[in-house]
Amino acid sequence: MRRSHSFLFCLGLLAGLCGLIFVHASLRRQAMKPGLLEKERLVRELGLTDICLSTEANYTRHLTQADFTTAFQDHPLSLEHFPSGTWIRPGPRSGYGNGQGIRPAKKHP
Amino acid sequence: MAKGFDRQKNILDFTLSSLLRRKWKNLALASVYTLVVFLLASVMFFSYAIKREASILLANAPEITVQRLLAGRHSPVPLAYLDRIKDIAGVQAIRGRLWGYYFDPVVGANYTLVVPESGAPENGTIRVGAGVARARSLLAGDMIEFKTAAGDILELEAREFFSADSELVSSDLVLLSADDFLAISGGAADMVTDIAVGVRNPRELATVAEKIAARLPDTRVILREEILRTYDAVFNWRGGLLVIILAGAMLAFIILAWEKASGLGPEERREIGILKAIGWETSDVLLMKFWEGMAVSLSSFFFGLLLAYIHVFTAGSGLFAPVLKGWSVLLPEFRLVPYIDAAQVAALFFLTVVPYSVATIIPAWRASIVDPDSVMR
């Protein structure tokens, strides 16, 4: 067998396998559908606001319920020391009420 | 047509022989290339799948959550606040939520205690998530001790468990009755943790939020839209660890492409000179270099993509999971639903394969237009 034929065969095989990723993902999504529906039901019934990615700190467990300055809440020099915090940046807040949203600062009269 | 195809195959045969002559160098190159694609694709698959699943699940979260802030910290909300919200026009449903955290000193884990609105466990019993059951090695009927706010020990029976399939939302949950929750947390019966508000017309959400904020100035109002936006931003490229991974991968890739684009080695230049001297056209040389670039970049891209898919969706994201789990004792074990964004895969292809192939051709073109005699000398 010529080298080019072997190479093109292997490349075709790899490309085919990469195409199969999408087929596999689609089949897995179908198979995982009942689990997803169960999670949706729990979120609705229990009124959950966050998914459970990390349990090491309150503010990484409930990202949407935490304060902007939450990493500093224990004392002013309390810098982020939880590994999961390195994935996360402060979420966008519209700032209704006492919401710590990003709003232009008012000029001092 | 067939002649042109034969020509391509002949040049490809020669290219592969040429690559095999420097097989260790090319193998090292392809390995680094595969690693770069693997890292980038893993981050891409992982972050997209989490964001997508979070957006689907949290579309069922409360439309508005109202928290009370006291001295900048969360504080329990008096039940009287519910009366001040429920007569706002557009408010359809309102309920006080009782939930909080409990640190279990036995295993050093944090649990999330939740009192469900309906179907709460009987006093003295709890329903726990799979992560809690794992951390405490619980079987149905086992007792867990909780320390109450008064300092007593309250023993609760683990009667039911959440399924392992729901671990992404329930891993650390402990569902219990309101009485048991108040005993453990020390809360007052006329206080709730926060308020969940349902609004009839989604277009009125902002108006209702403004009215709540005006009536209750010591509260913070969180819209469901903000919850969804938070998770959309969670694995943003500006997140600390992502910057390091992406910057490292991109630098490695730039070095690869730069090494190729900055010129050919004397051996490769001599090879081109000889090929020109025995009658190869410039277009043949360019075609050879094109195939060389494609052989390395395409096979590395496909291989890296496959490895990334296996890593994220079948091997539990072994590279990222330890960072997410961090120092926590209660480790959520979840399998991500494989949502893949075809546009992101296409973007990764164009960002990795195309620049590398172009970077291979340019120096070859420069070498092939020089007089073969001078190149060989």
Which pLDDT band, with edges at 50, 70 and 90, does A69 fall under? low
Single residue among B204, B233, B262 that ends a domain in this structure: B233
The answer to whether B168 and B334 have CB atoms below 8 angstroms apart is yes
Higher pLDDT, residue B267 or A12: A12
Q: What is the pLDDT of residue B28?
A: 87
The answer to whether A30 and B156 have CB atoms below 8 angstroms apart is no
B23, pLDDT greater than 80: yes
Boundaries of every domain in chain A: 1-48, 49-90
Single residue among B214, B233, B252 that ends a domain in this structure: B233
Percentage of chain A exceeding pLDDT 90: 39
B44, pLDDT greater than 80: yes
Chain-centroid distance, C-alpha B307: 16
Place of tokens 């075709």: A12
Question: Closest to B236 (Cβ–Cβ): which among A21, A62, A89?
Answer: A89
A98, pLDDT greater than 60: no
B180 and B128 within one domain: yes
Q: How many whole angstroms separate alpha carbon B228 and alpha carbon B270?
A: 59
- Greatest extent of chain A over all pairs of C-alpha atoms, in Å: 85
Q: CA–CA distance from B164 to each of A51, B133, B169, B210, B368 (Å)?
A: 14, 10, 10, 40, 62
Is A35 in contact with B165 (Cβ distance < 8 A)? yes
The answer to whether B98 and B192 have CB atoms below 8 angstroms apart is yes
Chain A residues with CB inside 8 Å of B216's CB?
Answer: 97
Q: Which two tokens stand for residue B114?
A: 């939740």
Place of tokens 């490309």: A15
Nearest one of B342, B315, B338, B307 to A25, comparing CA atoms = B338
The answer to whether A99 and B222 have CB atoms below 8 angstroms apart is yes
Single residue among B194, B212, B233 that ends a domain in this structure: B233
Is B233 in contact with A91 (Cβ distance < 8 A)? yes
Q: What is the mean pLDDT of chain B?
A: 87
B240 and B202 within one domain: no
Q: Beta strand pairing status for B194-199 and B91-104?
A: antiparallel
B248 and B182 within one domain: no
B52 and B66 within one domain: no
Task: Report which residue type is found at B279.
Answer: G
B246 and B222 within one domain: no
B179 and B50 within one domain: no
Instruction: Give residue B41's domain range.
Output: 2-58+235-376
Q: To probe the interface with A, which of B302, B330, B333, B345 has the most A CB atoms within 10 Å?
A: B302
B297 and B193 within one domain: no
B81 and B214 within one domain: yes
Q: Beta strand pairing status for B153-161 and B125-128?
A: parallel
Q: To probe the interface with B, which of A49, A62, A67, A102 has the most B CB atoms within 10 Å?
A: A49
B275 and B243 within one domain: yes
Chain A residues with CB inside 8 Å of B165's CB?
Answer: 32, 34-35, 38-39
A103, pLDDT greater than 50: no
Using the Cβ of A30 and the Cβ atoms of chain B, whether some distance falls under 8 Å is answered with no
The answer to whether B341 and B46 have CB atoms below 8 angstroms apart is no
Q: What is the pTM of this model?
A: 0.84
Q: How many whole angstroms separate alpha carbon B103 and alpha carbon B115?
A: 17
Higher pLDDT, residue A81 or B276: B276
Count: domains in chain B? 2
Which pLDDT band, with edges at 50, 70 and 90, does B11 fall under? confident
Q: To probe the interface with B, which of A13, A23, A55, A84 has the most B CB atoms within 10 Å?
A: A55
Using the Cβ of A68 and the Cβ atoms of chain B, whether some distance falls under 8 Å is answered with no
Q: To probe the interface with A, which of B118, B298, B324 has the most A CB atoms within 10 Å?
A: B324
Chain B residues with CB inside 8 Å of A7's CB?
Answer: 12, 16, 295
Residue B367: helix, strand or coil by DSSP?
Answer: helix
Q: Which two tokens stand for residue B323?
A: 């960072």
Question: Closest to A54 (Cβ–Cβ): which among B227, B309, B325?
Answer: B325
User: Is the ipTM, as predicted for this complex, more than 0.90?
Assistant: no
Using the Cβ of A48 and the Cβ atoms of chain B, whether some distance falls under 8 Å is answered with yes
- Cβ neighbour number for residue B319 with a 10 Å cutoff: 17
Using the Cβ of A32 and the Cβ atoms of chain B, whether some distance falls under 8 Å is answered with yes
Percentage of chain B exceeding pLDDT 90: 44
Nearest one of B113, B126, B129 to B158, comparing CA atoms = B126
B281 and B180 within one domain: no
Helix (H) or strand (E) holding B24: helix B23-57
Q: How many whole angstroms separate alpha carbon B87 and alpha carbon B211?
A: 11
- Cβ neighbour number for residue B299 with a 10 Å cutoff: 18
B1, pLDDT greater than 70: no
Q: How many whole angstroms separate alpha carbon B275 and alpha carbon B18?
A: 12
Nearest one of B166, B188, B164 to B178, comparing CA atoms = B188
Q: Beta strand pairing status for B77-78 and B143-147?
A: unpaired
Q: CA–CA distance from A17 to each of A13, A26, B45, B49, B299 (Å)?
A: 6, 14, 17, 20, 12
Question: Closest to A42 (Cβ–Cβ): which among B166, B295, B323?
Answer: B166
Which pLDDT band, with edges at 50, 70 and 90, does B281 fall under? confident
Q: How many whole angstroms separate alpha carbon A57 and alpha carbon B292?
A: 50
B111 to chain A: nearest residue by CA?
A: A55
Q: How many whole angstroms separate alpha carbon B106 and alpha carbon B143?
A: 13
Which range, B210-214, B231-235, B252-256, B265-269, is most confident? B210-214
A73, pLDDT greater than 50: yes
The answer to whether A60 and A82 have CB atoms below 8 angstroms apart is yes
The answer to whether B172 and A52 have CB atoms below 8 angstroms apart is yes
Tell the burial category of B131 from Cβ atoms under 10 Å away from its Cβ (0-12, 13-18, 19+). buried
Q: Identify the weakest region by mean pLDDT among A4-13, B166-175, B328-337.
A: B328-337
B124, pLDDT greater than 80: yes
Q: How many whole angstroms separate alpha carbon B174 and alpha carbon B133?
A: 10
Q: CA–CA distance from B376 to each of B271, B363, B364 (Å)?
A: 8, 16, 15
Place of tokens 């007569």: B87
Q: What is the mean pLDDT of chain A?
A: 79
Task: Read off the CATH number of the domain in which B172 is found.
Answer: 2.40.40.20
B148: which residues sit within 8 A by CB, 6+ positions away?
Answer: B154, B183, B184, B186
B175 to chain A: nearest residue by CA?
A: A46
B196 and B107 within one domain: yes
B214 and B196 within one domain: yes
